[in-house]
């Protein structure tokens, strides 16, 4: 019986140690389970963050590409506009130079006509002073001479108006400056 008692005590002690060890193991399992849950939670948050970052990076790349395309198009458009402006400026300059050349040519022709009228007037004046002129011819010569003088004066007026930049207009056979009637 004593050995049974001892055996029993030994069994109780072994059982208590076993229960104690089991409790320690259970605590250790609970601690490790909590840590695993924490790691899973952190891993889940990290995965979500990574997925969100990937989404954001994709969106940023898309916006960057779109911005670069817009910049390229803007630069190309600016180059086209610059070329268009240069071409328009050159065309306008060419047209202006052409107009100036035509104006000078027209002025020279008017001067030639004015010189011809002056020459004719001079001849009529000489014919008028010539005693051999007849009376009827003299009267028609005076009328032609007056008409030539009007033409000459109109031409001079046109030349002066062109040089001063004002555009004359004709009203009732007389030349009138623009704005006055």
CA separation, residue 120 to residues 111, 116, 134, 140, 152 (Å): 14, 6, 18, 14, 11
- The predicted-structure confidence for 55-73, as pLDDT tens digits, reads as follows 999 999 999 999 999 999 9
| 79 domain residue, yes or no | yes
Scan for tokens 């009376």, then name that residue. Answer: 135
Q: Which pLDDT score is estimated for 170?
A: 46
| 39 domain residue, yes or no | yes
Q: What percentage of the chain reaches a pLDDT higher than 90? A: 39
| 36 domain residue, yes or no | yes
| 181 domain residue, yes or no | no
Q: Which pLDDT score is estimated for 138?
A: 61
Q: Which domain holds residue 124?
A: 2-176
- The predicted-structure confidence for 7-16, as pLDDT tens digits, reads as follows 888 889 999 9
The yes-or-no verdict on residue 74 having pLDDT over 70 is: yes
The yes-or-no verdict on residue 92 having pLDDT over 80 is: yes
Q: Which pLDDT score is estimated for 24?
A: 94
Tokens of 174: 């007389």
Q: In the chain, how many domains are there?
A: 1
Q: How far apart are the C-alpha atoms of 29 and 36, rounded to whole Å?
A: 10
Mean pLDDT of 154-161: 78
Mean pLDDT of 119-142: 66
- Tell me how crowded residue 177 is: count the other CB atoms within 10 A of its CB: 14
| 33 domain residue, yes or no | yes
pTM (2 decimals)? 0.42
| 118 domain residue, yes or no | yes
Residue in 171, 119, 127 with CA at minimum distance from that of residue 148: 119
């Amino acid at each position: 019986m004593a050995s049974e008692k001892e055996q029993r005590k030994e069994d109780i002690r072994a059982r208590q140690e076993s229960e104690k060890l089991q409790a320690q193991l259970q605590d250790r399992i609970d601690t490790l389970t909590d840590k695993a849950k924490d790691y899973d939670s952190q891993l889940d948050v990290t995965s979500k963050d990574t997925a969100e970052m990937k989404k954001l990076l994709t969106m940023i790349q898309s916006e960057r590409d779109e911005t670069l395309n817009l910049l390229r198009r803007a630069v190309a458009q600016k180059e086209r506009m610059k070329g268009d402006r240069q071409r328009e400026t050159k065309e306008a300059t060419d047209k202006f130079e052409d107009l100036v050349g035509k104006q000078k040519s027209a002025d020279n022709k008017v001067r030639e006509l004015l010189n011809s009228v002056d020459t004719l007037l001079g001849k009529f004046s000489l014919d008028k002073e010539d005693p051999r002129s007849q009376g009827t011819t003299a009267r028609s010569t005076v009328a032609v001479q007056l008409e030539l003088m009007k033409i000459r004066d109109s031409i001079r007026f046109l030349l002066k108006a062109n040089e001063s930049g004002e555009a004359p207009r004709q009203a009732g056979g007389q030349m009138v400056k623009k704005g006055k009637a």
